[in-house]
Amino acid sequence: MITVRHATENDLPQILDIYNDIIKNTTAVYYYEPHTLEMRKAWFDERKLLGFPIFVAEENEVILGMSTIGPFRVPTAYKYSVENTVHVAATARGKGIGKLLLAPLIQAAKNLGMHTIIAGIDASNEVSLHLHKNFGFEEVAHFKQVGFKFDRWLDLKFLQLVL
């Protein structure tokens, strides 16, 4: 049975494995180099310090995916806007894990008094675009050729959910 729960520091090695696979093999994130455990720990600590949740989907002690929200921009006037992240392990894609992780994230944003969630999604990532649209996100921007990875230019879409 798949359960969704708050991530703990003990989950970081598995979260890192998922994230690094995404870096190496997809355009879901625009990094070139894998991250270190120290980088994931700093990220985890920052989320905790800011009061933002990190959720994981787990089955038989294996992390299948993670989701979180964090600051959209730094200036104070953006304090009611957050950006979301949903990543699913390659072996768990197509099983509805993204749906399980996005729903509690939206509720957490509401509970924190946020006004809107922004999702930055590679324009070719039809699965993620579809997932977000199913939860009421609307496309609000399409940036052409803003990223370069795997020897090609990448477009980025922003989707928004006003809470």
φ, ψ of residue 39 to 5 degrees: the values are -65, -40
pLDDT class of 113 with cuts at 50, 70, 90:
very high
Q: Residue 136: its pLDDT value, please?
A: 98
Sign of the four-CA dihedral 44, 88, 159, 153: positive
Q: Residue 75: its pLDDT value, please?
A: 82
pLDDT at 87 over 90: yes
Q: Residue 1: its pLDDT value, please?
A: 92
Mean pLDDT over 45-70 rounds to: 97
Can you give the pTM of this predicted structure? 0.94
Q: Domains of the chain (ranges plus CATH)?
A: 3-162 (3.40.630.30)
pLDDT at 121 over 90: yes
Which distant-in-sequence residues (6+ apart) come within 8 Å of 114 by Cβ?
69, 80, 81, 82, 163
